Amino acid sequence: MQNLSRVADASLAVMLQRARDQRRIRHTLAVLARLRPILELTGKMKVSLREQDYDKLAVDYARLKHQSGKIANLAAPLKRVVAAGHEIAATANAELLQKLEDMSASVADQKRAIDVLTALALVEKPILTCLAKQFEYLERKLMEVDGEGTSQMSSEGVMKECVVTAARFRNGLWGFICELFKTPAGSAAATSNAITSVEAECVQQQAWNILSKCSGLLERHASPPSALRLQLLTEAFRQFRCLKKCPNAATLNANIEQLNETFCDKFRTDITLGYLEQVCQSAKLGLLAEYFEPVVTVLPSFSSDIALATPNASALTPAVMSTDPRTKVQRVILEARQAFDVIKNTSTISSESKILLHRPLVFTTCATDILQWWRGIWKDVGQALLDVLDIADRTTGGNSTTASAGADVDFHFRAQIIQALENHLRGMLSDFLDQVVAAFIAEITPSIPVEASTTGGANRGGTRVCILLAIVANCVELREKCLRIVDGWMAQLKYGNIDEDAYNSMLEHGRAATSGTRALSNLVQQVEIKCMDIYSSTHAEPLQRILRAGAAEEPFQPHISSSNSRYNSRTSHSGTVSSQTPAALQATTSNPAFSTVTPSDPRQYVFNVLLQMITLRSEVEMSVGEYPQCWDYIRSVADPLTAELAGFLQASVRSLEGASASSLDEWKRCHLLVESRFFLLALGDLMAECTKTQLEDVEKQLVQTKSGEVENTGRVALLNQMKHQAKLYLLALQQ
């Protein structure tokens, strides 16, 4: 019994012990279950720290603090675990602070670092800490650049560093500053980044010091301007203009507004206009030097080959191949004289051989050179101007009032740039054309007097004055082709980069003489008018000499009667007259046998008039025949000349009014009637309507005089003879 009792007691004791052990195990498991997050979080934090997954580490650290806060009395081992977690967080905090000091880190990385620092809460005001480190670095960098800028670093290098600083300020620091100032300084709102008034003032002052230092260095190293420097400035302008107003930072906002006004607006305008003037002035001097500074070279022919029905077309070559010092404008004048001499010679060919003339390059040389220099200007300034005009086009958002004011400033600046470019191009073109015209006029001023002659001899003064048509041709080329290209540039400046297809279509179909190039077109047209006025005025005197010579032919021109044989005596080509004496002529006119008088040959002046008109028309057509203005220019010269011719015929008819019906007067009337009909036929398309009417009235007045069948037949024969002799002239006129 006692044994049983001992066994039972022992068994119960074992069972109780086991129960106690199981209860202890269950309690331990329960405790471990409660402490498991703390124990696991430190391990996760170690892994996150090793992998630099700071976001996850911050989350785990926050959970660790939360879990440890639930347990009032931690055992010593657990305290060591929590302490290890704090150490891991402190290590991560130190690494993140180093990232804030690393200027190579991206803005996104810095933003994440600040967020993690805020979550870890081991650093007070992490944004302020970040700004302090960034400000310190940028101030130190700008001081180094300013100290080395004059010795070890080029101006472009200094400007690049300043642009990098401005970009970092705008892309990184400005967002942090605005974030820091969201909560007013000294506010009772409890946030991790709340700052005091003193701290706010310090941040604003440091930010402004960096911005003002950066803009000052840019201004100092921007002169003399260049394409690269203007490109760097443009990027700086864009960065500064993108700084929107920061909340609760009145001082900083006022300073930035002043920076935009003085640097992004005024200085941008001054430096851009200065660069544009520098490039245009250099191109202008280069163009003038090319044309007006002496050079020594073998002069090639500027014109295309000229195929003529003349025996020796190489007679002009020695003058062209001269190696004497000449300016380019003198060579152009020489080439123009050569071209118009060829035109003059072809007008005197009295055969039906085909005249093959190719338009000489001298008619486009000046226009081509001007366009080449203008292309050089656009190559230097075009993209730079488009970029500097585009600094506000990429910015969005912000205060509407500020955006509207900026748009007004940019619109005014764009208008200034366009106007300045047009003014520079106009000044360059004006100086060039004035000097070219002066050089051409100097060549034609000492014109050689020509004795009055009844022949069609070459008028050397007139031949030389026609070189002005080369200037007219170049001006027309400028207006019709070159200004279209310039207008395309103006359109790009006005509207920004335009579609390539639209740009090509504009060049093909034209926008010349629009608002962008109207002043240039007017200038070119004034030069054209000036040259055409000089050219036209020089043809009046030669025509008057021809007409006076024609009037002088009358008393000596032989005539025949219906009952006598033909008196074969006429004015020779060299200007000699027949051997018939005035007494014989008077006897002829008083002889009744000569009562019916019909001229046998036309008067020579008729063909001299035709020669002058053909030459005139050929010169103008060769110069500007490819353009619609050609006929207007022909008429502008021909109309007053044909009016002078009609006046001469009308005056001749009036001089016969009331005269005796002598054979000489009849002879004159016959000539005048045939000549009026012939001029209407040959020169009708070169006459104004009033001139045609005047000649028709002359014809009607002469026809009213009764004449016999013989006289009518003689007139028809004379008219046919004149048509036959003038066949080449008519062909030339009708081409």
pLDDT at 325: 45
From first CA to last CA, the distance across the chain in angstroms is 157
In three-state form (DSSP H/G/I as H, E/B as E, the rest C), the secondary structure along 428-468 is: HHHHHHHHHHHHHHHHHCCCCCCCCCCCCCCCHHHHHHCCH
CB 721 within 8 A of CB 603: no
pLDDT at 417: 93
pLDDT at 299: 47
pLDDT at 562: 36
pLDDT at 662: 66
The alpha-helical segments, DSSP class H, found in 293-399 are 317-320, 328-347, 365-388
Enumerate domains of the chain plus CATH numbers: 30-123 (1.20.58), 557-563+583-733 (no CATH)
The alpha-helical segments, DSSP class H, found in 260-327 are 268-292, 317-320
> How do residues 56-94 score in pLDDT, each as one tens digit?
888 888 888 887 776 656 666 677 888 888 899 899 888
> How do residues 440-463 score in pLDDT, each as one tens digit?
998 886 544 433 333 334 444 444
Separation of alpha carbons 483 and 507, rounded Å: 9
The string of DSSP codes covering 497-557 is: SPPHHHHHHHHHH--TTSTTTHHHHHHHHHHHHHHHHHHHHHHHHHHHHHHHHHHHHGGG-
Q: Which residues contact 47 (CB under 8 A, 6 or more apart)?
A: 53
Low-confidence ranges of the chain (pLDDT < 50): 188-190, 298-323, 325, 349-356, 393, 395-398, 447-463, 512-513, 557, 559-596, 706, 708-710, 728-729, 732-735
β-bridge partners, 598: 560
pLDDT at 377: 95
Residue 52's region, left for phi above 0, alpha for psi from -120 to 50, else beta, is left
Q: Which two tokens stand for residue 224?
A: 């003399």
pLDDT at 402: 57
Separation of alpha carbons 340 and 338, rounded Å: 6
Separation of alpha carbons 426 and 522, rounded Å: 10
Q: Which helix (H) or strand (E) holds 606?
A: helix 605-624
Indicate the pTM of the whole model: 0.74
In three-state form (DSSP H/G/I as H, E/B as E, the rest C), the secondary structure along 128-183 is: HHHHHHHHHHHHHHHHHHHHHCCCCCCHHHHHHHHHHHHHHHHHHHHHHHHHHCCC
Within its chain, how far is the Cα of 490 from the centroid? Answer: 6
In three-state form (DSSP H/G/I as H, E/B as E, the rest C), the secondary structure along 37-83 is: HHHHHHHHHHHHHHHCCHHHHHHHHHHHHHHHHHCCCCCHHHHHHHH
pLDDT at 573: 35
CB 556 within 8 A of CB 578: yes
pLDDT at 449: 40
